[in-house]
Structure 1
């Protein structure tokens, strides 16, 4: 910001011109201070930091974050790059602050995988006035100021020297401040691991980069490692129709909001009248769809899946190896690659000969209520290869379920028993009871869909030996401890994000044909189970014999009568 600096070609720098390094330092301070307001709010809530320790530690962390950010930006602090670069940093900071501050999420690698795999419909649900205000005050107004500043152009060598000085100085500042408060800082990060994911935008960039690298590494051209290639079907009892198992993958459903599991509100009025078995203590593989879905269809269990170095064939592949017909029907953002090698379709894309979807079920943008999954099922099954169909069918229905934050959109206007209902996607501004009402309405609508599905299956016992298994991919936070939605790192996520419902049902005709006793299963409803049991229980239900099958994880095995 001095007079006498010259531009290339001899042009004089305007009075009051800013060096790129000065702009980087100011931006780093803004991002570290106001841009990290969710971090400072969280620090203020910690009981061990009440009193005189908080200001010193917050001061050290703020300037330490600013130092690291300035060092990261230093190599690109050149006149032609600096304003776009800082605008990007401000936008990232504003977005991270909004979602962490509004929903209590953190930006770890799993959350960034969700970002990479999201679709336009999910993005639409997150838009609103609070998001606009966050971007306006944290990014757009600073960007307006930034782009109006004249820039000094000190020349290559002077600019390089200043960038190097800022890089070294920023790291030295951060290291010195951490050293000065190391006892408090290390204890804080060890006891409150969530905080390390809240340092914005640095952690967001790191997590996004890791998620991008991981996603690209799973898109390699080589086929997945084989699993269950020796699969074969056990002999079926003479005169028994082929099995038809409908596996419904729920979305964002909490087990403790199912009245089948003791919840005090009638969220399962239909299923409660049926001879279903509701398992009360089921734990998910992950806290997001991107993490849970591939894991729950793996045959390795959560620990084995986490240690995989390359993709491996999943439950759907093994079922197909056994000669069964497999169909994945989706009403959400896709199967995360699980269904790429089996028959698959979207609920809104009806097969030839199926009656049209009622207009109230689907919007013009293609988003449908879950009842759309049940339309045209006979026609869909008829399109599967006849030889596979004769051996048996596994039909997977992937729900929209209770996908947030727009819970009110997950149930039709005539199926909302709990009122008043929150219609705001900025969940922190909802009345807590209205928020729960909207969520419970989505659970009640899932009950309606599952009840209708049992009716459809009951009417097809002449052609099939039918069964139904429902399990959600993960749970949801509804404002407890100021947490909303889902996706927290697994080790620190509350039980609400991992405790999921699982419900089994089949008619008496199926029990007689297979020997699978629902009464026996009811004796096991309170056992501790997890997504690890899902794949092996499906293999057992379909009587698939393979070396990949683990009988100890088959919840149906002990209840199959000879």
Structure 2
């Protein structure tokens, strides 16, 4: 029997028709989010040109045709668009469900995400979303026969028209509504970062350019002049616990004014100071951690320069401080690469790591053996798992589930607001418990050391406010929930006396003054009695409340008044 009778003959579809269908699909499906945002903005304006509003989807369709057409050649067409559809489906899910914006910073965060963290984002909703919007359309494109131009000359001519006609039409729309688009775009720059697939493609290109343009950048040593300045009246070395929190926002911490009891353990500790106004350097770990351990301020921070440079941990080591980094998160982002490091492995602590990731109590394990018996200054940095989402429910043990019902799932957008808040608040409360346990440990070492603890989170988190979830928003557009972070400090009486810290002054500064990750570098150097040209006294939180500095300021004030 002839083949034509066994299988129906499918008539090939002209590639230009498929290009139009793809442009429409990307606009109405993958870019539904930006269209919704655009119309929300117009709705807030009250009075606007209806033609301007109607033109928006057509602008996206025409622009997509211009961009898509160069990739419509035989042998490139299907592989390119199949890949683009599936990647766009993943990006679309992240944007719609979590409000993620895929700029360069977010792509850096995506690339540096470890396998375990990546899997935490996958759930049934995400799988169904990917199948419906990505996999099925891609399969349809694969099986549909495509008719291409018969000759190269015809192909070039057709594609010239496919680009020229939309450009002319875009020019016509611009002639009518350029001022409107310019005004909305200028006042809402985030819209340009919401267009799929240009956002994640542009972000990836920018990241690759930065990575490879800086590939030959020489590695820079810093703080080689660092040395410990001993105080004559000190009879004990200093032991500092530097605790780097993960994804904790100040708005959910009772010590920062939150109405729920999320700080019940540290609130019982005498002398603990909670700073009320602290801003992060970034909205993702990949930015914030290298930034806070760099001598560069947020305003001039260059991630690649930091990547090719030593960090605060190196400077402390140069000075002769015994340093150790303990990591229960997703790595130190380069800041601990040259110092002793312990990465917590679930297989080593099965009791604390039953859910695939480890509860932060694991940081206390074997700590007595890790604290030096020698009379030397020592700093141990603890990188917590903290409140890492979206699987917040995996960050605390059952015994620490104080707020219920919680949300035991990763597709947090499908939880009720109260369930989500309960789950997140449990993580904050559990971190408070771990910090209190670390302070208790420090107290047990007071016979040998002057002890101090500094806790600060790397960035905050959105829990649905303004339609945003998780973190990683571009800093200039990021809400306060992602940049306002908690910071706490505790000092033993002997340490406070050795540094001559005025407690009332520090409490007042914590309540009224503004600080940021920019203060961490010099504050830690000062706390560990390290002198180096990199140290800046004005950024050292403790220095501003030390008795000698206060007395010098008082003397200078009196002199100025007399003059």
Q: Same fold per TM (> 0.5)?
A: yes
What residue number does 1:521 align with? 506
CA 1:134–1:180: 2 relative to 1, 3 Å: farther
Distance in 2 separating the partners of 1:18 and 1:482: 40
What residue number does 2:97 align with? 102
1:254 aligns with 2:249: yes
Matches within 5 A, 1:485-496: 485-496=470-481
Distance in 2 separating the partners of 1:408 and 1:449: 16
Describe the superposition over 1:55-82 as per-residue Cα deviations: whole angstroms up to 9, x where unpaired: 6335433232233333333223122221
Matches within 5 A, 1:139-538: 139-153=134-148, 154-220=150-216, 222-223=218-219, 225-237=220-232, 240-275=235-270, 276-306=272-302, 311-348=308-345, 357=349, 359-363=350-354, 365=356, 367-382=357-372, 390-526=375-511, 527-538=513-524
1:340 Cα deviation from its structure 2 partner: 1.2
Cα RMSD (Å): 2.3
Q: How many residues align?
A: 536
Structure 1 runs (4+) deviating above 6 angstroms are 49-52
1:131 aligns with 2:126: yes
CA 1:105–1:15: 2 relative to 1, 3 Å: closer
| Preserved CA contact (<8 Å) 1:113 1:212 | no
Distance in 2 separating the partners of 1:150 and 1:247: 61
Alignment partner of 2:170: what SS?
A: helix
Describe the superposition over 1:473-507 as per-residue Cα deviations: whole angstroms up to 9, x where unpaired: 11111111211111111111111111110000122
1:215 Cα deviation from its structure 2 partner: 3.2
Structure 1 unaligned residues grouped into runs of 5+: 1-13, 351-355
What residue number does 2:5 align with? none
How does the TM-score come out when normalised to structure 2? 0.89
Alignment partner of 2:400: what SS?
A: coil
Distance in 2 separating the partners of 1:220 and 1:80: 35
Distance in 1 separating the partners of 2:10 and 2:455: 69
Alignment partner of 1:200: what SS?
A: coil
1:277 Cα deviation from its structure 2 partner: 0.4
Alignment partner of 1:291: what SS?
A: helix
What residue number does 1:11 align with? none
Distance in 1 separating the partners of 2:37 and 2:256: 34
| Preserved CA contact (<8 Å) 1:250 1:401 | yes
What residue number does 2:539 align with? 553
CA 1:198–1:234: 2 relative to 1, 3 Å: same
| Preserved CA contact (<8 Å) 2:346 2:358 | no
| Preserved CA contact (<8 Å) 1:277 1:525 | yes
CA 1:59–1:137: 2 relative to 1, 3 Å: farther
Alignment partner of 2:277: what SS?
A: strand
Greater alpha carbon shift after TM alignment, 283-292 vs 89-98: 89-98
Alignment partner of 2:452: what SS?
A: strand
1:273 Cα deviation from its structure 2 partner: 0.4
Alignment partner of 2:301: what SS?
A: helix
CA 1:43–1:214: 2 relative to 1, 3 Å: same
